[in-house]
Amino acid sequence: MLLIFPAIDIKDGKCVRLVQGEPGTEKIYSLDPVKMAILWRGENAKTLHIVDLDGAFEGAMHNLDVIARIVNAVDIPIQIGGGIRTYEHVRQAFGVGVFRVVLGTVAIEDPNLVKELVKEYGARRIAVGIDAKNGIVMTQGWKHDTGEEAVAFALKMKELGVCRIVYTDILRDGMLTGPNFEAIKEMAVKTQLRVTASGGVSGFKDLIQMQELEKFGVDSVIVGKALYENKFPCQALWRMNEKELEDLGPTRRI
């Protein structure tokens, strides 16, 4: 069964979505990311993917306090990325209770650190995020062209003990135009790694098509804008019912 990660992107303490990761394109969906996490949990999310956008752009985590409050508010595993570029950043993230960290820029700049972290924390808790534009890895908030081909880089990470790639097609991200299924399949088939796909999901039909890639190792998908824009069956009913509720879910802790 394909695991769905609702995405919560945090910028200036708010829950936002960007188009192709571009600053200035953000749309604010909630002033309180914690309440957003509670809402997704109330709608039966089994896990969440959180991105510290300020951290991604500036190179150091900025919203760890918000992430800590999310961890304490829901009873599901939390995966985070964005600005995690040192051993201390990883230690702090695990210290507030997150389950998995996704390393991006640092995986290119300091692969030895990735190896050390996998050895210390285990491959289940350390993933590498590969954000690709036309098949080339981009870093530093998607601004720096590394010249590194995505699949080749994933194979290098595999040699270091990495077992999971979070693969994002930047040109599809936030566009609601459908994922790059061909590139996602290529990543899974050529690397034989577990792949979490991200970018472009526009609705239910995309998830059905993504499920066809499970046999190749694509076992999960991150969904952002499509959820926030209510593109899935039942969401209209959920929203109507939620207007009548003071408590957004049975697992609420705050």
For the annotated catalytic residues, the residue numbers are 9, 131
Structure-token match 């190896």, residue found: 115
- The helix/strand/coil state of 101 is strand
Q: How many helices (H) and strands (E) does the chain have?
A: 11, 12
Nearest to 139 by CA among 159, 168, 117, 112: 168
- Residue 74 to residues 11, 43, 67, 175: CA-CA distances in angstroms? 20, 12, 11, 29
Nearest to 64 by CA among 48, 46, 86, 84: 84
Pairing outcome for strands 164-169 and 14-17: unpaired
195 half-sphere exposure, CB direction, 13 A CA radius = 32
Are 141 and 186 in contact, with CB atoms under 8 Å apart? Answer: no
Are 188 and 218 in contact, with CB atoms under 8 Å apart? Answer: yes
According to DSSP, the residues that pair with 15 across neighbouring strands are: 10, 30
Q: How far apart, in whole angstroms, are the C-alpha atoms of residue 26 and residue 28? A: 6
| Residues contacting 60, CB < 8 A, separation 6+ | 83, 85, 89
